[in-house]
Structure 1
Amino acid sequence: MEKAASAQPFPFFCCKPAKKVISCVVKFLREQKIMAILICLLAMLCWLPQPISAQTQSQPFLMNFDYSRFRSTASAGYLELYYSFYCGQITFHPAGENFKGGVALRTDLIDAQTGQAVIKERVVVPVVMDDTSTTGWKTTSVLRQAGHLVPFGNYRLHIVAYDSANPARRDSLSLPLEMKALTQRPAISDVELCSSIQASTNKNHPYFKSSHEVMPNPSLVYGSMSPVVYVYAELYDIDTTKVYAVDYEMIDDGGTVVKNVSRQRRYRTPNTVEIGTLNAVALKPGKYTLRLSLRDSPSGQRTQSQKGFYVYQPPALSAEPASTPTSLAVAIETLTAKEAEDEFQKARYLADKTEIDFFSQLKTPQAQKDFLKEFWTRREAGSALEAPRRRVDYLRRVEVVTERYSSYTKKGWRTDRGRVFILYGKPDEVERHSSEGVGKPYEIWYYYQIENGVQFIFVDKNGFGDYDLVHSTKRGELYDEGWSRFLQ
């Protein structure tokens, strides 16, 4: 019987043709591995997250600023400059496990007599965010403080701030500034209004001074979201043998003292600090002045310093309760496809670029209505940066301006006056100027409760009753000091 042959390994590695085949296979596999790596890299690049603040690109870039002057030498004072910005207005890019952005600052202090720059500072304030998934990251404040020794004299301060990743998004200011000797005895420095003041021994803290961590509030805005006004001031040439009456007064824009706190103080050293707190939560929205006074009780001699601030209490647009999610959804669900499209066009003044682009890509009426539900839910809830806006009130304003400002060529809500009315409400005062000589008709709208009081100027350039916005003092709006040329 023939013995069955045992299984033997195929002698593949023993012949030259086989080795050549193996070499080709290995080369092929290596090439495939490289291709796989390249494909993975391309996929990663395609899926890299976009700048996380892309949704804020259509929003104005705003800088908050304040300053205080303190005594220093016989010929110069110490000038502190305070800046702040919100993270939601900064463009961030991925950087490893974090997101990085920044604010570029240009600060120039120009001598009014010589035209020479006493301060010429160029700096980029880096900002790093570890987590952007939290709801409050957009309202996180970026704070910077700079101090300079400045000779006594008159100056002009120019500041430009811009998003370092998008220089076109910027804010600026220019104001006169005087540095002078504090010769009165006793004397008080400028009042610095702060977001917090805490006793401290940490001299390395960036906001440490006079044994305290003094956190400035460059926005000068207080209210329900920031109810406590912290006050810091330096006192000079105090008579340590006397008892002084220290008065804190809150004065409204009409000159009425709405809050007064007074106490008796005896100071241990001739040069010291005065620190106090007041609560602003009960104040009505508007502009106020905080006045700090030091009175010599026997003689009645008074020394004082003051600083303006603002109170903002975010209200709904009306006293009616906000829409419930159910009622809002039902109201939007009943819209036709044309009505949903039309409503978002009217609501574009509240939308950012990302929302506008996203809505334009929606293909079905139901997708548009679902988007509107989420859009109005966010607007009615409001945020730390934006007051709540009820859908019904917004659309009611649209109806008002459509009736008032529509022309043959443009609906009222598409006009400049219509947009301003929709966003800011009815103006407190309107100046109407008819055609005077060869001049063109124009209107000036005043809003006294917005910022420090603002105005909008509209000119009927073509004589057809369609007034164009040519100038406004509202931050983020069109600013043109030479607007009067449009009257010619």
Structure 2
Amino acid sequence: MALALLVVNACAKPRPTGDPGGAAPVGAAAPGGAPGLPGAAGAPATTGDMQRLYRNMGLVAGAATLPFVASVSFLPSPTPDSTLVLLSLSLPSRALGFGREGERYVAGYVARVELRRGPTVVRTIEANETVRVPTFRETARTDESIIWQQFIRVAPGRYSMSVAIRDEGGLRNAAEDVTLDVPPMRIGALASPVAVYEAIPRQSADSLPRLLARPRSTVIFGQDSVLPIYIDAVGANAPARVDVRVVGEGDLVSWTNSIELQPRGNARSTTITIPVTRMSVGLNTVQMAIPGTPDTVRTRVLVTLGDDLPIANFEEMLSYLRYFTTADRLKPLRDAAPLQRAEVWATFLRETDPVPATAEHEGLRDYFGRIRTANTRFRDDAQVGWQSDRGIAFVALGDPDNIVDTGLIDPNARVRQQIWEYRELRVQLLFVDQTGFGRWRLGAQSRADLDNAIRRKMAQREQ
């Protein structure tokens, strides 16, 4: 996947440009443990839901006004009395306040990391960073377009780690405190697997790999072809091979391989490319083991439909689509065996794309856009906005051509009515707010009219 990532390296000490990468942190625990997966069944994730899902993966996720995701991984240093802690943090461009600077747009932020053992501050890193982009469009990106990375060498043990980000162009900030268990890394032991965009391996035990991390450890189903993961070990007894397997939904082992680690001085390493088509939609665990030993390292990765639509499993993905297309169109997806799902999904995308000549699927883009809008616009109607009566109508049919609200005619009326008119479909939907608190409901006849209108709308898309 080609990404124009804005990579920013912390300046606490000299090191190779582009270092740090991230994988699921071994030993990093979010406060309160690992929360459950997002929302009600079939409900798209809000920003808060996504942050909870990242925490469930073992990542550090800021949940305040400036959402960020950070991964921690552990690599061996030349001596077993210290461990390399690799912190990699990402945030979307749209989280920062950009301003014009000539023909470009510029934003600034401050990243701060503090490690403590009891009352003692072991290490503090603070970096003032500047991001410049050439177009306004770049300022609105939602992917992990800004990446900040740092290697820290510390003694094994338990630490308290504080990670904070502050937007210098506004008042937004976020901070998270986590417990960090730094393991001892014996000579020859495998490092944490590191999900990356790019990797240049270390050339010896006392050097650093040059990594462009994937802090969210996320790939997009149907778009990304492979997930690269970097792995290394140091010392004369570093393993020559590792056995790799991917465990997905229902503990299904979906991919296995035996990979050779290339010798580089007194270190061995490789970048493993795992086919996305061999992973389950939702959460997967990548396990790596030294053959003939119980030594196993692992990381969790997320396979999702898009950067802001993480889901728990394939069935949940299908529930998102119930107002997009017909049950007959979804049936091949429901019936597909796990290893065939990616291929069937690619066929589904091809057959439902309204503009095949473009790289983007405009139909799904607009559909999921309406879901996100409904969750905001109709959040008072139901626990999940898009599953409310007005939310369903909006997601399935789009904006009405005309809305008549009796409350605008008589503000003192206890019972309010809204009439949504869809002229092309020749339907009027009557929503009633019995309480005056904005909880709009369809009557029985209007619900039947909505069901019929949805079927007609889906039939139009099939033509």
**Taking structure 1 as the reference length, what is the TM-score of the superposition?**
0.49
- Following TM superposition, by how much is the alpha carbon of 1:275 offset from its aligned partner in structure 2, in angstroms? 2.2
| Partner Cα distance (1:163, 1:135) in 2 | 14
Q: How many residues align?
A: 282
The 1:221/1:140 distance shift into structure 2, 3 A limit, reads closer
Provide the secondary structure at the position in 2 that maps to 1:62: coil
1:78 touches 1:150 (CA, 8 Å); kept in 2? yes
Query: Which consecutive unaligned segments of at least 5 residues does structure 1 have?
Result: 1-58, 202-208, 324-377, 399-410, 426-463, 467-488
- Following TM superposition, by how much is the alpha carbon of 1:182 offset from its aligned partner in structure 2, in angstroms? 1.9
Q: What pairs up with 1:57-456 in 2 under 5 angstroms? A: 61-72=66-77, 73-111=79-117, 114-133=118-137, 139=143, 141-167=145-171, 169-183=172-186, 186-197=188-199, 213-224=210-221, 225-239=223-237, 244-252=240-248, 254-263=250-259, 267=263, 270-295=266-291, 300-314=292-306, 317-318=320-321, 388-389=367-368, 391=370, 414=380, 417-419=383-385
- Following TM superposition, by how much is the alpha carbon of 1:143 offset from its aligned partner in structure 2, in angstroms? 1.3
1:228 touches 1:278 (CA, 8 Å); kept in 2? yes
1:99-122 per-residue CA deviation (whole Å, 9 max, x = no partner) reads: 1102221211111xx321112222
Provide the secondary structure at the position in 2 that maps to 1:218: coil
What residue number does 2:4 align with? Answer: none
1:105 touches 1:124 (CA, 8 Å); kept in 2? yes
Q: Which amino acid aligns with 1:232?
A: Y
The 1:85/1:135 distance shift into structure 2, 3 A limit, reads closer
Further displaced range: 117-126 or 263-272? 263-272
Q: Which amino acid aligns with 2:173?
A: R
The 1:260/1:90 distance shift into structure 2, 3 A limit, reads same
| Partner Cα distance (1:250, 1:415) in 2 | 41
2:66 touches 2:95 (CA, 8 Å); kept in 1? yes
Query: Which consecutive unaligned segments of at least 5 residues does structure 2 have?
Result: 1-63, 307-316, 327-359, 393-436, 440-463
Q: Which has the higher contact order (CA 8 A, sep 6+)?
A: 2
- Following TM superposition, by how much is the alpha carbon of 1:321 offset from its aligned partner in structure 2, in angstroms? 5.0
2:88 touches 2:215 (CA, 8 Å); kept in 1? yes
1:80 touches 1:148 (CA, 8 Å); kept in 2? yes
2:109 touches 2:167 (CA, 8 Å); kept in 1? yes
**Taking structure 2 as the reference length, what is the TM-score of the superposition?**
0.52
Q: Which amino acid aligns with 1:414?
A: D
| Partner Cα distance (2:216, 2:265) in 1 | 32
The 1:104/1:136 distance shift into structure 2, 3 A limit, reads closer
The 1:309/1:117 distance shift into structure 2, 3 A limit, reads same
Give the greater-gyration-radius structure (CA): 1
The 1:418/1:80 distance shift into structure 2, 3 A limit, reads closer
Cα RMSD after superposing both structures? 4.2
Provide the secondary structure at the position in 1 that maps to 2:94: helix
1:274-309 per-residue CA deviation (whole Å, 9 max, x = no partner) reads: 3211111453321111111121xxxx2242211111
- Following TM superposition, by how much is the alpha carbon of 1:237 offset from its aligned partner in structure 2, in angstroms? 3.4
1:77 touches 1:152 (CA, 8 Å); kept in 2? yes
Provide the secondary structure at the position in 1 that maps to 2:321: coil
- Following TM superposition, by how much is the alpha carbon of 1:62 offset from its aligned partner in structure 2, in angstroms? 1.6
The 1:379/1:248 distance shift into structure 2, 3 A limit, reads closer
2:75 touches 2:191 (CA, 8 Å); kept in 1? yes
| Partner Cα distance (1:382, 1:136) in 2 | 19
| Partner Cα distance (2:200, 2:74) in 1 | 21
